[in-house]
């Protein structure tokens, strides 16, 4: 989830958490007719625990750096990891370090890798995977998870494989179901007298109406180019020409493509028409979310990983990004977030690879149990009966599942570390309203020509 933003809700992880058996057993009881929150029964068998538990009382120390970006991550830590980790892995003493997310996480891990101080387990992401792989700092998990049976818990195990046919990360599989949509407040639309737009031009028009009613039309995180890099550029290209977007992800075209250029031009127009708030280029994840949940903004452009939280407000609904041409149909084409390298990875130089793999398995299962509890679809089987879904989640699944053309995310599947960082910068520039789409495309085309992602 995952890959991979900087949210305000980091207070629960503001300091390093040292998790030992002293804080292990609270909140861990379940009844037979309730799904378990404990990753241990599904992540490891009793026999496996025998094999990994040391005969003496000395614990193996492990360092973990994981995402601490939003409410979902904090809930996973507080409700699924901390209460269960010591009983699931009694031979380990685990130190968790907050990693933040996005560029913060990337910069932290790049620095630690350069200094030879990598943690035993960490959240992996396409944006920094390549340098870690090149320095031997990421372990091929395939032989470990095949031997202990964890690989068999995945409904689609091939989805874990990188292009070299190796497995470097473990996740819940919920990432495949994360896609950007437009959440909106139904009551704010009704008050302004506007309807859900079906075309890009209608989106611009209703935004003007919302703004005339003293409402912020739409909001999304813009700091460090978060929105443009992760989904805005892809959506703005895709709604005009899905094939061009697919070709860009697979390196069959570049930023000289007319449809790609038009996508960047649409972002420029959104900024200049006032669809997005002033200062969007410096708006962080947490403040963007608050702007929507407090009903200052009528629309939120965001991935569906926020759907479980937003569904608690009965005034919230969603719609797919509206079409900019007859080439695009939102029931035929959709972006998906997943990448095989996003998830919990193990340091290739760890002194205790088997124990570190067990820890990564535990953390992946904790993610799966959390997303399962929200009704979200996952591919990592927990052994629990699926939870009932909220009406909004069911609406999403009913729309998303039948879509035949699911386009991989450019940010996770097509950019090396340098190209990813440069795209963040260029995306942030584009959101200022003072940087033209032509300049963006020219800069990105040069970056794209130097991108080494496809050289593997």
- Residues pairing with 263 in the sheet: none
> Which ranges of 323-352 would DSSP assign to H, the alpha helix?
none
DSSP 3-state assignment of 102? Answer: helix
Task: Give the other-Cβ count within 10 Å of 348's Cβ.
Answer: 16
Distance in angstroms (rounded) separating the CA atoms of residues 260 and 253: 9
Q: What residues form DSSP beta bridges with 181?
A: 302
Q: What is the mean pLDDT of residues 58-67?
A: 94
Token representation of residue 276? 């997005």
Check whether 44 has a pLDDT greater than 80.
no
DSSP for residue 199: B
Work out the average pLDDT over 62-81: 91
Q: How many CB atoms lie within 10 A of CB 7?
A: 24
Specify whether the CB–CB gap between 180 and 235 falls below 8 A.
yes
Rg (CA), the chain: 22
The answer on pLDDT for 31 being more than 60 is: no
Distance CA 379, CA 402 (A): 17
Q: Tell me the C-alpha distance between 128 and 124, whole Å.
A: 8
As beta bridge partners, residue 19 has 94
Give residue 9's pLDDT.
35
Q: 3-state SS of 316-328? A: EEEECCCECCCCC
User: Mean pLDDT lowest for which of 127-136, 153-162, 217-226?
Assistant: 153-162
CA atoms of 121 and 102, how far apart (whole Å): 18
pLDDT of residue 409: 93
**How much is the pTM?**
0.73
322-358 pLDDT per residue, tens:
999 999 999 999 998 888 889 999 999 999 999 999 9
**Going by DSSP bridges, is the β-strand pair 333-336/297-303 parallel, antiparallel, or unpaired?**
unpaired
What is the pLDDT, as a whole number, of residue 435? 97
The yes-or-no verdict on residue 53 having pLDDT over 60 is no
β-pair type (121-124, 60-66): parallel
What's the whole-number mean pLDDT along residues 20-38?
A: 38
pLDDT (average), residues 94-115: 90
Q: What is the pLDDT of residues 352-403, one digit of tens each?
A: 999 999 999 999 999 999 999 988 889 899 999 877 889 999 999 999 989 9
Higher pLDDT pick, 177 / 118: 118
Greater pLDDT, 218 or 55: 218
Greater pLDDT, 435 or 25: 435
Q: What domains can be seen in the chain, in order of their start residue?
A: 11-176+339-383 (3.40.190.10), 179-336+409-455 (3.40.190.10)
What lies within 8 Å, CB to CB, of 413 at 6+ separation is 126, 249, 339
Tokens of 355: 């124990």
Structure tokens at 283: 């708006």
Q: Which two tokens stand for residue 40?
A: 């241990």
Token representation of residue 71: 């409410």
Q: What is the rounded average pLDDT for all residues in the chain?
A: 87
Say how many residues make up the chain.
456
pLDDT of 155 reads 83
State the pLDDT at residue 416: 86
pLDDT of residue 236: 98
Q: Give yes or no for residue 5 having a pLDDT over 80.
A: no
Cross-strand bridge partners of residue 123:
344
Instruction: Write down the pLDDT at residue 14.
Output: 32
Split at pLDDT 50, 70, 90, the class of 37 is low
What is the DSSP track for 119-173? -SEEEE-HHHHHHHHHTT-S---HHHHHHSSGGGGBSSGGGGB-TTS-B--B--S
Residues 6+ apart with CB under 8 A from 138: 124, 129, 132, 168, 345, 346, 347, 348
For 373, the enclosing helix (H) or strand (E) is: helix 353-373
Task: Say if residue 21's pLDDT is above 60.
Answer: no
Tally of CB atoms within 10 A around 59: 16
pLDDT in tens, 175-200: 888 999 999 999 999 999 999 999 99
For 195, counting Cβ atoms within 10 Å of its Cβ (0-12 exposed, 13-18 middle, 19+ buried), the class is: exposed
Between 54 and 427, the more confident residue is: 427
Rounded CA separation 297/92 (Å) = 46
Share of the chain above pLDDT 70, in %: 87
HSE toward the beta carbon, residue 197, CA cutoff 13 A: 22
DSSP letter for 380, please: B
């Amino acid at each position: 989830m995952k890959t991979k933003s900087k949210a305000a809700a980091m207070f629960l992880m503001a300091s390093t958490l040292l998790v030992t058996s002293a804080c292990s057993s609270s909140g861990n009881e379940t009844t037979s007719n309730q799904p378990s929150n404990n990753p241990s029964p599904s992540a490891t068998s009793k026999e496996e625990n025998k094999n990994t538990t040391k005969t003496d009382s000395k614990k193996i120390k492990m360092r973990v750096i994981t995402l601490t970006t939003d409410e979902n991550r904090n809930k996973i830590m507080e409700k699924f990891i901390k209460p269960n980790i010591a009983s699931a892995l009694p031979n380990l003493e685990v130190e968790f370090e907050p990693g933040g997310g996005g560029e913060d996480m990337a910069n932290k891990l790049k620095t630690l890798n350069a200094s030879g101080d990598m943690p035993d387990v960490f959240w992996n992401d396409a944006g920094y995977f390549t340098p870690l792989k090149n320095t031997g700092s990421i372990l091929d998990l395939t032989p470990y998870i095949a031997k202990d049976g964890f690989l068999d818990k995945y409904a689609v195990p091939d989805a874990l494989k990188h292009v070299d046919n190796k497995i470097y990360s473990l996740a819940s599989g919920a990432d495949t179901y994360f896609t950007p949509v437009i959440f909106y407040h139904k009551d704010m639309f009704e008050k302004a007298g506007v309807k859900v737009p079906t075309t890009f031009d209608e989106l611009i028009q209703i935004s003007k109406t919302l703004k005339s009613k003293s409402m912020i039309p739409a909001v999304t995180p813009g700091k460090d180019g978060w929105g443009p890099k992760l989904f805005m550029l892809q959506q703005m290209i895709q709604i005009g020409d899905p094939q061009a977007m697919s070709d860009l992800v697979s390196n069959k075209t570049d930023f000289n493509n007319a449809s790609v250029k038009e996508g960047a031009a649409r972002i420029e127009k959104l900024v200049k028409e006032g669809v997005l708030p002033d200062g969007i280029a410096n708006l962080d994840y947490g403040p963007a979310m608050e702007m929507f949940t407090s009903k200052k903004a009528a629309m939120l452009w965001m991935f569906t990983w926020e759907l479980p939280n937003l569904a608690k407000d009965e005034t919230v609904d969603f719609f797919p990004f509206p079409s900019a041409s007859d080439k695009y149909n939102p029931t035929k084409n959709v972006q998906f977030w997943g990448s095989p390298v996003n998830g919990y990875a193990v340091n290739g130089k760890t002194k205790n690879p088997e124990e570190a793999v067990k820890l990564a398995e535990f953390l992946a299962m904790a993610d799966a149990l959390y997303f399962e509890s929200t009704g979200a679809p996952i591919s990592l089987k927990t052994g629990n009966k699926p939870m009932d879904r909220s009406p909004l989640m069911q609406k999403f699944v009913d729309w998303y599942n039948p879509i035949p053309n699911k386009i991989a995310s450019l940010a996770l599947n097509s950019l090396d570390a340098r190209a990813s960082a440069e795209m963040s910068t260029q995306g942030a520039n584009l959101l200022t309203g003072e940087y033209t789409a032509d300049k963006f495309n020219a800069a990105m085309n040069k970056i794209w020509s130097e991108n080494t992602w496809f050289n593997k």
